[in-house]
Structure 1
Amino acid sequence: MDVCQIGDFDKSCAALQNAFRGEPSYWYLACKLQDKPLSLGINNSEAIDTLTYNFLKHYYDHGAQIMQSGNYTTIAIWTTPSLSVPMNRTSDESFNKIFFDNSLKVKETVIPKGMKYYYLFMIGKDPESHMKGTVRAMFELYIDKANTENCALVLEAISEHARDVYAHFGFVNYNTFQYGIGEVNSLGQLDSHGEGHTGYLMVYLPTN
């Protein structure tokens, strides 16, 4: 199955919007990373679609590798060892500590000194497509890049299912972290006693 850079921005955006619309943990992260109020509401499809568009546009404009497989069934946003796309710190310092500061410490500990890495900011499979093997094709390509170029692959899984999928491809979880505690419940609803969500910082190290 071919995996290549996108040629149709709108089609790519629609696939990602379909993949993440109404996903509680994604909703929280999208609001936080773009400094938008959680009060917009997880059921606000227009708002979450706009946040997804903003992510894709930001990475596209900064030259990230926006890849597609299966005729735009799966879309992935990768930064490369030679290109780090800036993501500004947010107005929430507690969030910054979890997602930026702690993450950096783990990566510096896990990834051998001097080794660069690809970072998977986002991957989504359009639920309207029933094509199989599109996610596998995407990861097989980048695992081959990692092994050939002696680079690591880094990502954050935002659900147990995603964690298990990435583990199947050889990613190892090096940091389980909680976010959104006291802000939202597991359904993404505002809740001052909410349990929030669980994330996993995962790294694939080259095998050669």
Structure 2
Amino acid sequence: MAEDKLDLPLASGANISVTSLQNPTLITSSQSEEYQHRLADVSSRATVSDALNILFQQDKTGDAVPITADLLYKAVQGRIQVKVKAGASIVEAAGFAALVCWEPPEATAKQSWHSEEEIDEIATTRPVFAQFLRDMQDCKIRTLGKEQKYWNMSLMARDPLRKDKGAVRAVIEPYVARARKEGVPIWLVAANERARDVYQYFGFRVVGIVWSYPKGRVDGDGQKGVPTWCMVCNWPVEKV
């Protein structure tokens, strides 16, 4: 892969040909409303049956509300808007066959850590999500500390109706190389085993597992929990 391709601005909107693949795949990046909509649409359709999404949605709306892609779309769109406002961009491959939200260090630095008071406030309406936030944040602090600059990779999704080979690799591989070149780690949270295994293929490793339980349940009471894998890449840093 040519080095100059890693120097392009994150939100340049330029087309980038990923030449490390056997069949080169075109990727583009943007912060536009269209790209935000595309990611929210694909993500909500691809993860509608994920156990963690179901658990979080039931935490918010109750067990009686059916979990649909349309219901998830609004929540995902809101998360994307916050990330883009902080400086993140949406990267897509093969005409939106796969998408991911990449948050560079300057974007993650703007998103302050949640205080105990903030998490306690969230817990008044969404106790399951609040506990997840607390546990995930604790794992991140134990791993990276509060001062370490890092990239964050979130909302990775592949369109369930598309089978384009190399699309997932195309939205991950160049940014893993870029983070290594910059000498900073990458943080992500994998919501299922398949995603975890894909990320491990690209050099990420598990540094902690967060378990989430339905309201009123705790670890050890016989209720099956939902695991989430906290993962890092290029940590300790190996600058190239």
TM-score band w.r.t. shorter chain: 0.7 to 0.9
- Distance in 1, matches of 2:64 and 2:103, equals 29
1:148-199: CA deviation from partner (whole Å, max 9, x where unpaired): 0001000111111111111111111011121024569xxxxxxx97413111
- Distance in 1, matches of 2:196 and 2:80, equals 22
Alignment map for 1:22-171 (pairs within 5 Å): 22-29=49-56, 36-39=60-63, 41-84=65-108, 86=111, 89=119, 90-91=122-123, 92=126, 95-100=129-134, 102-111=135-144, 115-171=148-204
Instruction: Report the residue type matching 1:99 in the other structure.
Output: L
Cα 1:196–1:112, aligned 2, differ >3 Å: closer, same or farther? closer
- Distance in 1, matches of 2:58 and 2:102, equals 20
Give the aligned length: 197
Unaligned runs of 5+ in 1: 185-191
1:22-61: CA deviation from partner (whole Å, max 9, x where unpaired): 32222334565xxx22335353343122222222233234
1:13 aligned residue: 40
Larger Rg: 2
Cα 1:132–1:180, aligned 2, differ >3 Å: closer, same or farther? same
* Aligned CA-pair RMSD: 2.9
- Whether 2:231 is the aligned partner of 1:207: answer no
Instruction: Report the residue type matching 2:231 in the other structure.
Output: M
1:189 aligned residue: none
Instruction: Report the residue type matching 1:142 in the other structure.
Output: Y
Kept in 2, the 8 Å contact 1:64–1:79? The answer is yes
C-alpha deviation, 1:79, in angstroms = 1.8
- Distance in 1, matches of 2:48 and 2:80, equals 14
Instruction: Report the residue type matching 1:14 in the other structure.
Output: D
- Alignment partner of 2:164: what SS? coil
Cα 1:20–1:98, aligned 2, differ >3 Å: closer, same or farther? closer
- Distance in 1, matches of 2:160 and 2:51, equals 16
Cα 1:59–1:40, aligned 2, differ >3 Å: closer, same or farther? farther
1:180 aligned residue: 213
Give the share of equivalent positions with the same residue, in percent: 19
- Distance in 2, matches of 1:24 and 1:105, equals 22
Cα 1:159–1:12, aligned 2, differ >3 Å: closer, same or farther? closer
Kept in 2, the 8 Å contact 1:183–1:194? The answer is no
